[in-house]
Chain A
């Protein structure tokens, strides 16, 4: 099998991730629910993961690392913390449904800024025009469809200038690009644990740098008498039992990323991207590429359904994603809403031979 669907989830993980999950299943109880050894061991694991994440994302307070089920969960907390009645929300033209759907459900007036694929300057200019007077802004760091790296630090600077709280969707960048919470100054940064942080599915992180509001209410293991959630982090935003086994795996995943270095990971993924682009030259496929791109490549074949190509590739053992990738806004921006695209996405566990083999099979199919 050649697994090239890492933008959805990284299937191949560092082996220590699985070991940690197994060990936690055997030895960890619920953190904050007791003083006995298995509960305290769970608490230590969870805290270690908070510390590791805080170090990776340059956050001084580990309690601002909130564990969620996934990025969608974190984005819902963030959006619902900031949206007020009559709010005007600005989002980029490359957002995932995990952003656009909660915004739509909130009843906020929705303004799309920056639909120019692989043109960071134009995106920034559009944000500059649309941010003044906005109640909040939501922007993905990297498009999950095209791998387009948006100028997030410059957008964050604009948000600060216009006093607009910013939510960053770091789903495709956490573990690959520099996501610096202190430098961004965003209110919230949401990410999944199961993509480039190499945790299991069911894990996610929300960096809460602003004022959060509980999305769910329930047990927190603290201040049990009052019938409202504690007013301090992380307890305020973490109702219910933690996914300790998942967090144990995520801890090892983040350690792996810190050891390897995001710069090296990005360089490897870009190297795979380069090989793929060269391997498909002259193939007649339409490749969506640009300078500001990380290890995600979308393409389409004239007059061929991307789903049927993906199915043929799957039958040959190549795993890719096709369709709209839960991001219709991004496809509207790129003019691919009718066709969808075929998406190839890399990771440190993808090698050049695999990419070349996948390209050879793709050429045969088309």
Chain B
């Protein structure tokens, strides 16, 4: 199953994002972001496997989308998702 990461500016923003997604029936979790994806060093992300487009749209509508989006490839590397 494909994993997506939505980078967040802070742990609290990531938590707010997950709460919002959960209320909309989208399963997501807060994870520590891989170091190479955190531009400022030490960051958190929302991890999800399904309903990525729906999640991005919902977060955007609620001003919670401030970071880059990534998809984990089979190699284990992350590729940025552009919208």
Contacts and interface: CB of A to CB of B under 8 A. Distances in A.
Interface residues of A, number: 24
Given A47-B12, A63-B12, A230-B10, A225 B30 contact: no
Interface residues of B, number: 16
B73 interface: no
Contacts of B10: 32, 63, 222, 230, 232, 234-235
Interface string B2-21: 00000001111101100100
Contacts of B19: 51
Nearest to B9: A232
A200 to B, nearest CB: 22
Interface in B1-43: 9-13, 15-16, 19, 30-32, 40-43
A86 interface: no
Contacts of A23: none
A43 interface: yes
A226 B41 CA distance: 9
A263 B9 CA distance: 38
B44 A222 contact: yes
Contacts of A63: 10, 12-13, 16
Nearest to A31: B11
A235 to B, nearest CB: 5
A221 interface: yes
B56 to A, nearest CB: 20
Q: Which of A223, A225, A232, A235 has the most CB of B within 10 A?
A: A223
Contacts of A230: 9-10
A40 interface: yes
Given A35-B32, A43-B30, A234 B41 contact: no
Interface string A52-84: 000000000111000000000000000000000
Contacts of A44: 15
B41 A235 contact: no
A224 interface: yes
A224 B12 contact: no
Contact of B42 (A40, A223, A232): A223
Contact of B32 (A34, A223, A233): A34
B78 to A, nearest CB: 16
Nearest to B31: A35
A62 B41 contact: no
Interface string A7-50: 00000000000000000000000011011000010011001001
Interface of A: 31-32, 34-35, 40, 43-44, 47, 50-51, 61-63, 221-226, 230, 232-235
Given A47-B12, A63-B12, 10 more contacts: A34-B32, A35-B32, A44-B15, A61-B16, A62-B15, A222-B10, A222-B43, A222-B44, A223-B41, A232-B10
Interface of B: 9-13, 15-16, 19, 30-32, 40-44
13 contacts: A31-B11, A32-B11, A47-B15, A62-B16, A63-B16, A222-B9, A222-B44, A223-B41, A223-B43, A226-B40, A232-B10, A233-B12, A235-B12
